[in-house]
Amino acid sequence: MIAKFLTLVFLPRLLFAVEIRAVDFGLVGDGKTDDGPTIIRVVAEAKKHSPSQVTILFPSRKTIFAASAENRYLFFLRNAKNLTIDGNGSTFLLDPSIRMADLQGSSSITMKNMAVDYSKSMFIESIVQEVNQEKSYLDVKATNANESNSMSGPTKEDGEQWFGGFVWCENGSRTKAARHFSVGKVEKREGGVVRIFHGEGSFTPDLAKSIIPGTTGFSVPRAGVAHRHGPGALFEIHDATDATMEHIHVWSAPWFAFSIYRCEGFCRFHDVDVVPKPNSGRRMSACRDAFHVTANRAKLSFEHCDSRGTGDDDYNFCILSSVIRKIISPTEIVIRQKFPIQYNPMREGETLMVMDANNSMIGSAKIARYTEVPLKQGAITAGGSCPEVTISLDAPITDLRTGLTVWSKEACNPDTTMSHCTATFSIRMQTSLTIKHCRFDCYNVSYGMSEKSDNVEGPGPEFMRISHSEFYRGRGAGYHAQCDGRGSPAATRLQSIEISHCLFHAPLKIAKANQVVLIDNAFEDSVLLGDHSKLQMSGNRKNGVNFTIPTQ
């Protein structure tokens, strides 16, 4: 097969632009034939032209089934450069064992114009028939009667993690609120009824009271498909530089949909939706986070993204922080990351931030030298441990002590924007954000950290800028900035929070911030403002009437 040269232009370093048509390599696109081997050959051909700019073009509006993949990723693009994958409106239908794209170490990659689905849905939709909170079970009937026999308990297959479904609880006039329901033992009953016993945790009376038998829906996880960690996220965008995702619709994801981790340059997501497939009757689209955003140095933008139907956070903006284990001198310390599910190393020349368990900033200084002690067991594994690191600072920080939380200022998603996005489950706003023209029917929270916990994400935002956005009561209650704790507001982690031209149908609570700006907002629910140093207010109204915001 011969790649078709679309254009021949003079680019920097005399590179050529190349177009490769998947159909020229024998792609069928009938939704039944395994086109995985063909796509592997196409990607291999594209890599041969590196570092030229290459576009892989798929046929228009086909269903492309894939059960084969390199290292379990249909598009294994590790260390690839200058490559565009244009789905041309086609749907990629994947076998549950594989994922869509691995971009680790890549640069200048664009993926666009495609939908991603799975040959087996992540969840089986059902209606609750009976609730028994005392004995911790729900009786359900599958919406599609043929699916009743497919319901079963956890299998632990392929890294299957917490195994849970989602009860679509009645919420009055508001959007139905999806609530976690851990699935344990499953029993088949007569008449197509399936009894599902609660697994981990407790089946609370509050949850039981929110269910209406015969009405309330329950998205039951499909054993052997849902919550499978597998090789990772559907789109693994790790240590990548300049990545663009546009016009992508994710209809199913067995775990995270997008994992964006330690990226450089920019990462842009435009019209990227994680939503149930239209007209499918599904309520769910992903088992875990739609966008898991950790420890990036890149400029991040999310524009016109919709994340209805996720099984966990719509967005989780975070960094996994470290803790001071030893003080050698005021300019030399030993640290170790608290939670090793992903490793967030710092760099010489970056700014080390230091904070206590009350979210009060102790100080900061530039990292002059960064010395990492390799682990005896070699590779860092999730749930294992991270290496100890000795850091030399270019200036002393007073009041250093063991147990304090530290992180890199430059590596905590420092330039992140959400624009014209919607979310319906929850957003963890644990690093600074600029939000504009968004609608949130979910629980939105910014919170700090605790030196007493090993499993922490954070460090809480330095600033929040929210404008022209709407907050509704969905699963949770509005926006809560809970970076509180003892200490002066002037020293708190959340230095400024600015909210302007927003509509709150749900509560707003700011536990502590140094500076608070509230301009031209309309509130229809409770507003609570805690400790602060500076407050600027004008044009705010509650239920159409000017009002003074109460303080604690």
DSSP string, 16-31: -EEEEEGGGGT---BS
Tokens of 479: 């926006």
How many Cα atoms sit within 13 Å of 314 on the Cβ side? 30
Strands 258-261 and 235-238: parallel
Distance CA 82, CA 73 (A): 19
pLDDT score at 100? 98
What is the structure's pLDDT at 331? 96
The model carries a pTM of 0.94
Q: Are 177 and 184 in contact (CB under 8 A)?
A: no
- Give the pair of three-digit tokens for residue 4: 């078709």
Chunked mean pLDDT (size 10), the chain, 552 residues: 42 70 98 98 95 96 97 97 98 97 98 98 96 96 94 94 89 74 95 95 90 95 95 97 98 97 98 96 94 97 94 92 94 90 92 93 97 80 81 96 95 97 92 97 78 69 97 82 89 96 94 96 94 95 89 58
Q: Which residues contact 191 (CB under 8 A, 6 or more apart)?
A: none
- Rounded to an integer, what distance in angstroms lies between the CA atom of residue 367 and that of residue 331? 9
**CB-based burial of residue 197 (10 Å sphere; 0-12 exposed, 13-18 middle, 19+ buried)?**
middle
Task: For residues 270 and 301, give the distance between their C-alpha atoms in angstroms, rounded to a whole number.
Answer: 8
Query: What per-residue confidence (pLDDT) applies to 212?
Result: 93
Are β-strands 405-408 and 322-329 bridged in parallel, bridged antiparallel, or unpaired? antiparallel
β-pairing verdict for 164-169 and 217-221: antiparallel
pLDDT at position 10 is 44
DSSP 13: G
207 phi and psi angles, rounded to 5 deg: -65, -45
CA distance 190 to 456: 45
Tell me phi and psi for residue 145, to 5 degrees: -55, -30
CA distance linking residue 452 with residue 189, whole number of Å: 46
Q: How far apart are CA 160 and CA 255, in angstroms?
A: 9
